[in-house]
Amino acid sequence: MEIQGIGAVVTGGASGLGEATARALAARGAQVAILDLGRSKGAAVAASLGGGAFFAEADVTDEAAVGSAVAEAVSRFGALHACVNCAGIGSAMRTVDKDGRPFDLRVFKKTIDVNLIGTFNVLRLAAAQMAKNAPNADGERGVIVNTASAAAFDGQIGQAAYSASKAGVVGMTLPIARDLAKLGIRVCTIAPGLFETPLLMGMPEPARQALAATIPFPPRLGRPPEFASLALEIVENAMLNGETIRLDGAVRMPPR
């Protein structure tokens, strides 16, 4: 799909991987709607993009808020062609901690709610709008890019909730791609490894260096523009569909 002129929604677009993707899309001529929480810097990021970009305050788990944001994107852009889901949260807790306390079920549910159900909530509403588009020369009406994690495949100690949520995103990628195939809507997922996100950049430098040293090549943390580059390739390459792509420098995470 040609990026110039398309309408795109990026969740979690106020920072990290989402911000890099929103900037990359805008630089290639897309009209971008940034969906993020009200306390984020989404409004400032949108203002810096120009080209009709706007910020919509929305919790991805809120059906009404996301529906309103998607409808506004269609109203402003004329159509919605791309959706990149980057919104997500982390959690770290053992199934039973050293004091014998079980994993807090509220934390588990919240992680699943945001990372898995939130992703599905956004993509289903985006897909319903994409289905109304006139197909391009290849029969395409839209593209959806989701974000999982290397933790979906080799989660570490304490990552039960996070790994389960990201594995769910991986698991639904192919069936949703099959669901939407007749509508000309493609679906892929990116599973990044260790990237320079706000969470990791808040760690002490020695800790970041230690993590980087575990990556075979390149021996450094991934950079958000590298994630954005793959997201844009997925949008453009019509044969990428139903696939989860690890973007991790060949790292395989140890137990801890």
Active-site amino acid positions:
162
Compute the chain's Rg from CA coordinates.
Answer: 18
Query: Alpha carbon of 98 to those of 95, 102, 256: distances in Å?
Result: 10, 10, 15
Q: Looking up tokens 């979690």, which residue turns up? A: 12
Is 123 strand, coil or helix?
Answer: helix
Residue among 48, 55, 47, 49 nearest 76 (CA): 55
- Joined together, the tokens standing for residue 152 give 């979906």
Per-residue burial over 134-172, b = 16 or more CB atoms within 10 Å of its CB, e = otherwise: eeeeeebbbbbbbbbbbbbbbbeebbbbbbbbbbbbbeb
The enclosing H or E element of 35 equals strand 31-36
Q: Looking up tokens 């453009």, which residue turns up? A: 236
Beta strands 7-11 and 82-85 are: parallel
Burial (0-12, 13-18, 19+ Cβ within 10 Å), 44: exposed
